[in-house]
Amino acid sequence: MRERLTKSEMAIMEILWEEGKGLTATEIVNIAGEKKTWKDSSIHLLINKLLDKGVIEVVGFRKTMKNYARTFFPVDSKQKYIVNQITDGMSEEERKKLYEYLIGEEKKLEMIKYIQNLLTKRKEKCTEIHNI
């Protein structure tokens, strides 16, 4: 089972997901701005923890005034991260019950049609994969 992220780690992840591009530690601090009063040392510790947990990766380097800074980006999309957090460790039967509950709770016909369309597309893709 994957480790849960702390509130501060999640705040960094939210910034990376929202920006949609690799960011340096300094850029993360600047974007967080008035919301967070992180020190540079704190940011570097948090980033190293996120690297250790495998949820972000170094995607490049960016020239700063005197040297190069690493840029970081999430390994997974926000949606995939959330789904993994919910379903990690669940049996197939438990996942079936979760899907049944989520679909059963939907009250808007428009959303039900949307879900049905997604399932049809997924079924077609699976059929293509298994018929090759």
Closest CA to 73 of 63, 84, 82, 61: 61
Tokens 């899907």 correspond to what residue?
A: 99
- List the CATH number of the domain containing 15: 1.10.10.10
Instruction: Tell me, yes or no, whether 23 and 50 share the same domain.
Output: yes
DSSP E strands, 15-126: 56-63, 68-74
Residue 83 covered by a domain: no
Instruction: Tell me, yes or no, whether 18 and 73 share the same domain.
Output: yes
Output the CA torsion sign for 99, 100, 101, 106.
positive
As a whole number, the mean pLDDT across the chain is 91
Residue 48 covered by a domain: yes
**Ramachandran category for residue 20: left, alpha or beta (phi over 0 → left; psi -120 to 50 → alpha):** left
Q: What pLDDT band is residue 127 in, cutting at 50, 70 and 90?
A: confident
Q: Encode pLDDT of 11-28 as tens digits.
A: 999 999 999 999 999 899
Residue 85 covered by a domain: no
Residue 84 covered by a domain: no
Q: What is the pLDDT of residue 132?
A: 57
What residues does 71 pair with on adjacent strands? 60
Domain hosting 102: range is 91-131
Instruction: Tell me, yes or no, whether 69 and 115 share the same domain.
Output: no
Phi, psi at 56, each rounded to 5°: -130, 165
- Distance CA(84)–CA(77), nearest Å, equals 11
Instruction: Tell me, yes or no, whether 101 and 74 share the same domain.
Output: no
Q: What is the pLDDT of residue 80?
A: 94
Instruction: Tell me, yes or no, whether 52 and 14 share the same domain.
Output: yes
Overall domain count for the chain: 2
Please enumerate in sequence order all residues whose Cβ is within 8 A of that of 49, keeping only pairs 6 or more positions apart, or say none: 9
Q: What is the pLDDT of residue 60?
A: 95
pLDDT-above-70 percentage for the chain = 97
Q: What is the pLDDT of residue 40?
A: 78
Residues 68-83: what's their mean pLDDT?
95
- Residue 1 pLDDT > 70: no
State if pTM tops 0.85: no
